[in-house]
Amino acid sequence: MSNQYADRLVVVRDVDSLRRRVRDWRRDGLSVALVPTMGALHKGHMKLMDQAQKMADRVVATIFVNPKQFGPNEDFSSYPRREADDFELLSAAGVHLLFAPEATAMYPAGFATTVSVAGISDVLDGKHRAGHFDGVATVVSKLLLQALPDIAIFGEKDYQQLVLIRRFVEDLNIPVDIIGAPTVREHDGLAMSSRNAYLSAEERVKAPALYVAIAGAAKDIAAGGEIEATVEAARQKLITAGFDSVDYVEARHADTLAPLTNTSNHGRILAAARLGRTRLIDNVPVPIQQGA
């Protein structure tokens, strides 16, 4: 009985409690993985938790819908919040600690600091979501420094975010290893996302075309297709498939997000497109050419 309670998921909402618990674990020689989320957990998140369980002795999940990474016309107020469901999922997955702070604990009166990353923040999603990546860099810096884990795990679904986080963690010497985890997809290829809940039945039928278009473009580029013509064809396919608009489809260097100019480089196709009121993003690696 007592063992059952010792293993149950604990929720903390203040930094001191979080830090004390992680510090005690590390003092006892246990490694700690952090998995930051905005909640509304799905199978993609749970895959991150599984990976954390495999890589560390203790797993800390965080749920915080960060106001600083939403623009004034974005979906901050409507973003799905389901903390009780999330708690059940995390508990069943054997996660040890959930940190779910209030916004006032993260950004008390007088808060004035921003972490920003030149270049990476200004392209792709950064062009379409002003201030978004400053908000991400600032809150992820805080979460890493609040928890002080050994590793932190982020999904490749938000690929630009992952590149950004690796950059500022290295630049600021934040003492943590950043781990990227592969995107989890529905059976028809649609990348799992909390925002998929916004899709109507009709939109849900069209949505997998995003993955189909970029996976096809990645394959074509790997096979020697001209880069700009190939991504332009993918943009056209999205409109044909019923997307209302395409924010971008781009071929980029996977490590720096600089434009991909050479198929022998490590490439990534990234895209964002809109179905009604829902903005979907996705990305895939450009396969390495066999015998290239």
Q: Residues interacting with a second copy, by CB under 8 A?
A: 15, 19, 110-120, 137-138, 141-142, 145-146, 148, 167-168, 171-175, 256
Beta strand pairing call for 245-253 and 278-285: unpaired
The least distance separating a second copy from the CB of residue 272, rounded to whole angstroms, comes to 22
First to last CA, the chain: 60
**What SS3 state is found at 20?**
helix
Sign of CA dihedral 216, 222, 223, 224: positive
The least distance separating a second copy from the CB of residue 282, rounded to whole angstroms, comes to 25
- For a second copy, the closer of residues 115 and 221 by Cβ is 115
Residue 126's nearest CA partner among 71, 44, 72 is 71
The least distance separating a second copy from the CB of residue 11, rounded to whole angstroms, comes to 19
What contacts 168, CB < 8 A, 6 or more positions away? 115, 117, 137, 140, 141, 174
Bridge partners of 32?
A: 58
Round to whole Å and give the CA distance between 41 and 54. 19
The least distance separating a second copy from the CB of residue 39, rounded to whole angstroms, comes to 21
- For a second copy, the closer of residues 19 and 219 by Cβ is 19
Is residue 45 annotated as a catalytic residue, yes or no? yes
- For a second copy, the closer of residues 119 and 259 by Cβ is 119
Which of 45, 128, 253, 266 is the catalytic position? 45
- Which residues are identified as catalytic? 45
